[in-house]
Amino acid sequence: METQSRIRSNSSTDAEGEHRRPLLKFEEMKRDLMKISQEKSKMEEIYKTSRRKRDEEHKELVREIKSKNNAVESVLLCGICHDKIIRPYTIQFQHTFCVGCISQVSRNENNHRSCPLCRKPFRLILPVTQHNTVIEEIKSIFGRLNE
């Protein structure tokens, strides 16, 4: 009788154990899946943040380039015709205009003209044979950039 009941109880414990094991496995799997999904959302958050940061940096860069472009463009504009300077002529290390435009500026009796931008007097010896090569250079580079 005793032996029989032990056997029965043993077998019932075994059966319970067999029954429990897959449940434990399932719990483990569930925990792992939870961990994975948490990791996944963490990664997604990191990715989103870095993408946002990259987008902001990109926008900042575009703004910077645009403002630099505008600064360069304004240097390349003639103060008289307000167009891109053709054959740039710089008055005694001051303002730069197209040769054609600056030679139209009227002279006084002493053969002096005044700068249309700052009114400083200057003498223009015609024909102009030398041009501001720096401005010419920037113009050609800038032209290529704007293509």
Among 88, 96, 98, 99, binds Zn ion (CB under 5 A): 98
113 near Zn ion, judged by CB under 5 A:
no
DSSP 37-89: HHHHHHHHHHHHHHHHHHHHHHHHHHHHHHHHHHHHHHHTB-TTT-SB-SSEE
Distance CA 119, CA 115 (A): 4
**For residue 98, which of 140, 136, 146, 147 has the smallest C-alpha distance?**
136
118 near Zn ion, judged by CB under 5 A:
yes
Residue 52 Cα to chain centre, angstroms: 13
| Options 10-18, 55-63, 101-109, 135-143: segment touching Zn ion (CB under 5 A) | 101-109
Among 115, 124, 135, 138, binds Zn ion (CB under 5 A): 115
**Shortest separation between residue 98's beta carbon and Zn ion, angstroms:** 3
Q: Nearer Cβ to Zn ion, position 82 or 144?
A: 82
- Residue numbers at the binding site for Zn ion (CB under 5 A): 78, 80-81, 94-95, 98, 101, 115, 117-118
